[in-house]
Structure 1
Amino acid sequence: MSTSAASSPRRLTRKGQETRQRIVGAAADLIFEQGVARTTIEEVRAAAGVSSSQLYHYFDDKPALVRAVIEHQSDVIVGGQETFDLSTLEGIRTWRDWVVQHQRETSCVGGCPIGSLGSELAETDSQGRDQVAAGFKRWEASIRRGLREMHAQGRLSSETDPDALALALLAALQGGLLLTQIERDTTALEAALDAMLDLIARRS
């Protein structure tokens, strides 16, 4: 097995794309449940229902698979974020309620799929850390687009910096998710998001 950082780009058939996505999905679930270090290639292979040769056809090594998982989790989170209209206070409140409800439905287990990867990889895998950082930048940009639109439409005061506000909202979310995971209670998450909503409302 190669020790290269990532798999070489390959043109895939539709069936190949489906197989690759099944592998990534299985790896994402296992890594979310038990972390990168404790998840083995064999566990991923078994969960995805593929042979070793199939798995290594798509991924040169475990780091390449982990990076595919980071990309997958970023796609899922940003895609979910973009189903909400963050250009209005009402839309942000709707998103806030969804985030809190999702944590309740999962019993506050697991934390943030991107944040947990970042915590595990930050000091051990510089390429993985960079990719997690890129995922957070995508997430921040999704929030920023809504707040910039809110600002452009005059729904935020002219002196408000929507970019700084977007970063603060993401930071509040991450801190709230971490405490919610540790305490198995959404109180901290609700407090963090409500404080940001109050700030946005005061600047509306």
Structure 2
Amino acid sequence: MSATAETTTTARLTARGAKTRERIVEAAAELMYVRGVGSTTLDDVRTASGASKSQLYRHFANKDEIVRAVIELMGERVIQREQQALGGVSNIEGLRRWRDALVQNNALRHGAYGCALGSFASEVSDHDDVARRALHALFAEWKDLLAGAIRRMQENGKLSAGAPVDELATGLLGAVQGGYMLAQTAHDVTPMGTSIDMALAHIQSLSSG
């Protein structure tokens, strides 16, 4: 076989392997989000993804590695969504539109399953430090996006110059996560909307006029 043909074959196999890995992670993400990490087995993932046992273990040595890959995938999706939603926000009206989109999206599931990142954090943070650190970084990135929106409010004179931007962003993210949990237990997004509204009301109270 020529060097060119060998390279082409290797690239094809690598691409095929990447697709298999992607399929496994996608299937695991769906199962773990709906069922929970603890209730999802490797056999469940293998069956849902259509991968063989050898294919699964070629890409992942154990369940922890799959969980970490799922967190990376879900984290990318959440942060991309928040970047799109918050990137141009510079006033309280924009934050309210962001709030409405979050609540309405969660209402499609009647609050079930909660926040993807929050659900994983509650299940894995105390026994997988690698996963915990990944989640911590994702929440920090989400908080920074909120802080960016609040800081733009401050820069354009919509918020008091002395308002504690990072603390407000942390409180707002806390209201979001607490709201997801309350909506999940009630199967009703009303408490989620109320939680975020209270945080936004506090931010608005610091308006510069």
TM-score, structure 2 as length reference = 0.86
Asked if the contact 1:23–1:55 (Cα under 8 Å) also holds between the matched residues in 2, the reply is yes
Asked if the contact 1:176–1:190 (Cα under 8 Å) also holds between the matched residues in 2, the reply is yes
Q: Percent identity?
A: 39
Instruction: Report whether the alignment pairs 1:89 with 2:84.
Output: no
For 1:145 and 1:132, locate their aligned partners in 2 and report how far apart those are by CA, in whole Å. Answer: 20
Which residues of 2 match residues 79-158 of structure 1 at below 5 A? 79-84=80-85, 85-158=88-161
Q: 1:60 to 1:196 in 2, by over 3 A?
A: same
The match for 1:159 among 124, 146, 162 is 162
Question: Cα distance, 1:14 vs. partner?
Answer: 3.9
Asked if the contact 1:27–1:69 (Cα under 8 Å) also holds between the matched residues in 2, the reply is yes
Corresponding residue for residue 33 of structure 1:
34
Which stretches in structure 1 are left out of the alignment for 5+ residues?
Answer: 1-10
Corresponding residue for residue 4 of structure 1:
none
The match for 2:187 among 184, 187, 192 is 184
Give per-residue Cα distances to partners, 1:75-120, cap 9 Å, x unaligned: 1111111111332222211111111111110121101111111111
With 34-43 and 16-25 compared, the bigger mean Cα shift is at 16-25
For 2:57 and 2:89, locate their aligned partners in 1 and report how far apart those are by CA, in whole Å. Answer: 41
Q: What secondary structure is seen at the aligned counterpart in 2 of 1:27?
A: helix
For 2:151 and 2:89, locate their aligned partners in 1 and report how far apart those are by CA, in whole Å. Answer: 9
Corresponding residue for residue 197 of structure 2:
194
Asked if the contact 2:33–2:113 (Cα under 8 Å) also holds between the matched residues in 1, the reply is yes
TM-score, structure 1 as length reference = 0.88
Give per-residue Cα distances to partners, 1:151-171, cap 9 Å, x unaligned: 222222101011111111000
Asked if the contact 1:86–1:143 (Cα under 8 Å) also holds between the matched residues in 2, the reply is no
Question: Cα distance, 1:137 vs. partner?
Answer: 1.2
The structure with the greater share of residues assigned to helix is 2
Corresponding residue for residue 75 of structure 2:
74
Question: Cα distance, 1:54 vs. partner?
Answer: 1.7
Q: What secondary structure is seen at the aligned counterpart in 2 of 1:83?
A: helix
For 1:86 and 1:139, locate their aligned partners in 2 and report how far apart those are by CA, in whole Å. Answer: 14
Q: What secondary structure is seen at the aligned counterpart in 1 of 2:93?
A: helix
Q: Which has the larger radius of gyration?
A: 2
Asked if the contact 1:74–1:139 (Cα under 8 Å) also holds between the matched residues in 2, the reply is no
Q: CA RMSD in A?
A: 1.8
Asked if the contact 1:74–1:135 (Cα under 8 Å) also holds between the matched residues in 2, the reply is yes
Asked if the contact 1:112–1:177 (Cα under 8 Å) also holds between the matched residues in 2, the reply is yes
Corresponding residue for residue 56 of structure 1:
57
Question: Cα distance, 1:121 vs. partner?
Answer: 1.4
Between Structure 1 and Structure 2, how many residues are aligned?
194
Q: What is the letter of the counterpart of residue 47 of structure 1?
A: A
Which stretches in structure 2 are left out of the alignment for 5+ residues?
Answer: 1-10
For 1:201 and 1:13, locate their aligned partners in 2 and report how far apart those are by CA, in whole Å. Answer: 53
For 2:145 and 2:21, locate their aligned partners in 1 and report how far apart those are by CA, in whole Å. Answer: 27
